[in-house]
Amino acid sequence: MARRQERTGRRPAPLPVRDGLNPSRVRLPESGPWATTLDYLLARFHVERVRLLEKVAESEVVDDDGVPVDELMPFRPNSFVYLYRDPAPEPRIPFEVDLLFRDEHILAADKPHFLSSLPNGSYIVESAVVRLRRQFDLPDLSPMHRLDRITAGVLLFSLVPAERGAYQTLFARREVRKSYRAVARHDPDLELPRTVRSRIIKDRGTPTAYETDGEPNSETRIEMLGASGDRALYRLDPTTGKTHQIRVHMNSLGIPILNDPFYPRMLDIPHDDYSRPLQLLAASIEFTDPVTGQERSFSSRRRLQSWPPLAPT
């Protein structure tokens, strides 16, 4: 969310983070039959009408300038209001986020498989950012980047809003060195190491990405670290950060990552099935801190459960 705000120039929310959650931002439509802002909100959130009126009475619904919405505020086309939504009950993801490092500027976490980096879809409270905000009482904590829900490993957060842009620029300029580990099929005929470059596209509203003709926009160096039977452990060093890039590149070589539910084909796996985690780990991150000038290096303490393979009994 923070990165999107930096890029679009969006004004900071006039309500603070509360209980680890950002306020929701609601855009009023270009036109309509509503005389007041409250009329529109009551029509939009009619199922939550009672709770909405309670929040209005407590001045917890405000406009872009932080002015509380009341029954007299006129309807303003294309304007914004902010309010706290009540998150639906969520089953707890039964894995913990581990702390790797924290100072006054950044926090490095070791994210487990199956936990979202950010609130997204069905996972709001059960996300790494909300858990860490609540655990350490850090309402300004914001991720510098993200990992897929089913990818584990090192995830970085900034703690000071004024410094957030400097860290995010570091990622945008590809000045962060990231290394991943993955378990996949062993192909003795595949020539490695190699650097895979391709053009990756992800269409809006579709869960998977794909390669297409055109100028490459993604690059990953792939190296095999060891082999045992029909499996191998791979090191993957991406220099770009397209959606599902590593997973797409491994699949393009005919060695999709073990337990990948998207590549080479989508599998219908329940969200609460934790038995086959994707065998992909964000193993390490290194960079020169743009705020302190220090060399930073963080490594995951997690391991991929499918490596080394179990010996036959």
The ranges assigned to domains in the chain are: 24-83, 98-299
What is the pLDDT at residue 258?
98
Quote the Cα angle for 105-146-22, to 5°: 70
Which helix (H) or strand (E) covers residue 130, if one does?
A: helix 128-136
Q: What is the pLDDT of residues 167-182, one digit of tens each?
A: 999 998 999 999 999 9
Return mean pLDDT, the chain: 93
Contact 278, 113 (CB under 8 A): yes
Helix (H, G, I), strand (E, B) or coil at 222: strand
As given in the structure block, the two tokens for residue 128 are: 């790494």
Q: How far apart are CA 161 and CA 106, in angstroms?
A: 11
Q: What is the pLDDT of residues 263-279, one digit of tens each?
A: 999 999 998 899 999 99
What single letter denotes the amino acid at residue 248?
Answer: V
What is the pLDDT at residue 189?
96
What is the pLDDT at residue 313?
40
Q: How far apart are CA 310 and CA 313, in angstroms?
A: 9
Q: How far apart are CA 125 and CA 91, in angstroms?
A: 10
Contact 163, 171 (CB under 8 A): no
pLDDT (mean) for 7-14: 67
Residue 195 in this model has a pLDDT that exceeds 90:
yes
Q: How far apart are CA 109 and CA 222, in angstroms?
A: 25
What is the pLDDT at residue 10?
64
Q: What is the pLDDT of residues 122-162, one digit of tens each?
A: 788 999 999 999 999 999 999 999 999 999 999 999 999 99
Residue 105 in this model has a pLDDT that exceeds 70:
yes
Beta 280-288 vs 177-185: how paired, if at all?
A: antiparallel
Q: Does domain 98-299 have CATH number 3.30.2350.10?
A: yes
Question: 48-87 in b/e burial notation, b at 16+ Cβ within 10 A?
Answer: eeeebbebbeeebbbbeeeeebeeebebeeeebbbbbeee
As given in the structure block, the two tokens for residue 258 are: 């073990």
Q: How far apart are CA 176 and CA 305, in angstroms?
A: 27
Q: Which of 177, 154, 163, 182 is nearest to 295 (CA)?
A: 177
In Å, what is the CA distance from 202 to each residue of 4, 199, 210, 211, 242?
A: 18, 10, 6, 9, 9
pLDDT (mean) for 220-242: 96
What is the pLDDT at residue 309?
75
pLDDT (mean) for 84-99: 92
What is the pLDDT at residue 3?
34
What is the pLDDT at residue 97?
97
